[in-house]
Amino acid sequence: MGRTLGLDVGGFVMNRRTVLLLGGAAILSACASTSQGPALGSDGKPLPTVYTINPATAAQIPFRLLDSVNALRAAKGASPLAFDAALNAAAATHSRDMSVQNRPWHFGSDGSSPLQRVQRVGFTGRLQGELISETYQTELETLSAWMGQPDTRDVILDPAARTIGFAWFQEPQGKIWWTLITGS
């Protein structure tokens, strides 16, 4: 029969395992973060954090965006969009090109328009619209910002649209260049 050692603390007997368990818990609680929450800007609002896109996240981003866009479209009675490989390629090229130019705008560094870019990648449908963004935010925060403006919301909800291209380029310091293209 094994021997159990105990410590009498105020009428409560603790064995060696209990002492070790409580001691370990005390050590772990001392190591707990003492963070006071997010850093605040001069306006008192939380400062944004950099959204870092890793390979696992990158695989999920297009589908989260497509599901969200289609949910928004369904709420307005518009048909769902489907990814088009050519439009995805045009969006990826433009996202990288905006980073090279260091400005969010609809013209390529070679002067190309959205229409010329989708034609270059072999898109045979009709270009309906292009949305761009320069941000440190997630794809869903970017979609929310686009939905907050009538002109960009109209591109997302355009009932004539049937296809979508979506891509991004993230710079090493975290800035993300998003491009969304719709076609029919």
Contact 98, 132 (CB under 8 A): yes
The CA distance from 100 to 102, in Å, is 5
The DSSP letter of residue 80 is P
The string of pLDDT tens digits covering residues 57-83 is 999 999 999 999 999 999 999 999 999
The string of pLDDT tens digits covering residues 114-170 is 999 999 999 999 999 999 999 989 999 999 999 999 999 999 999 999 999 999 999
